[in-house]
Amino acid sequence: MTGLEGQTVLLTGGGSGLGRAIVERFAEEGANVAFLERNPDKVEAVSAEVPRALGIAGDIRLPEDSERAVTQVLERFGGIDCLIGTAAITDYSPSFSGYDRARLAPAFDEVLHTNVLGHILVATAARDALVRSRGSIILTLSTSGIYPGGQGAMYSVSKSALTMVVKQLAYELAPAVRVNGVVPGVIADSDIRGPEALGQQADTPTSRFPGLQEAARHMNPLRICPPGSAYAGLYVTLASRRDGMVGTGAIVNWDSGIGLIGHGFALDASMSDEQEATQ
């Protein structure tokens, strides 16, 4: 038992991948779950399939959408105990030099606005409710915010910036609100999209890199490419007032060991299972 029964979590980006896995897990733990999701079809699907899940269509880039989401959650459930940020977009370019410079500024604005400012907006909108409940915030970071070469260059910058957002909010909101960050590794069922400014809004990791899941097995010592559900339990622990009570300002690497070797540069992706077994 995690002590989440009857508590309320507001999540950004709960329509698929890691976000949906967290919605499902918190519902299993007895929490009331609301999620802000840009795709209305995903809002409808998750709301219909997950008990106690309140889907809210909206864009975290818009202050009015974050404020509307907070208002709806308070009207429905009476409070907010935890805010979780998973909404994000990535750019499918490994380097700044790979961009057409005319498209660099609008793409940078879209990625940073979504991945950084969007979470600041929703956190400030929920601040008073979280202070009243003495709750917590959990933001989703990335190994790409630590090591270069993992995903898009702009995505990496945005996740690095979000790391400091975690620390700043932890500093500002103490002692009433705990604020932590989670660094997951590759997520097998991720549906993260690209920016409209680059025409990548329909792209996904597997559509861009069909062999990603197999390659990901060679990017970490555990040789796994787990689904979003494998990470959800850590969010439960951090949200729990009992199990997470001493943590704030923490950045938890939960990345299958990628942090031991960077983004897999020390591993040969062509290594056979037989060769691996001998090491």
Residues known to be catalytic: 155
**What letter would DSSP give residue 266?**
T
Among left, alpha and beta (phi > 0; psi -120 to 50; other), residue 24 is: alpha
Q: What is the dihedral of CA 92, 94, 96, 98, to 10 degrees?
A: -80
CB atoms within 10 A of CB 179: 27
Question: Mapping DSSP to helix (H, G, I), strand (E, B) and coil, where does residue 229 land?
Answer: helix
Q: Alpha helix (H) ranges present in 15-152?
A: 17-28, 40-49, 63-77, 101-112, 118-133
For residues 52 and 47, give the distance between their C-alpha atoms in angstroms, rounded to a whole number. 8
Contact present, 82 and 173 (Cβ < 8 Å): no
In DSSP terms, 226 is beta-bridged to: none
Count of CB atoms situated within 10 Å of the CB of 277: 7
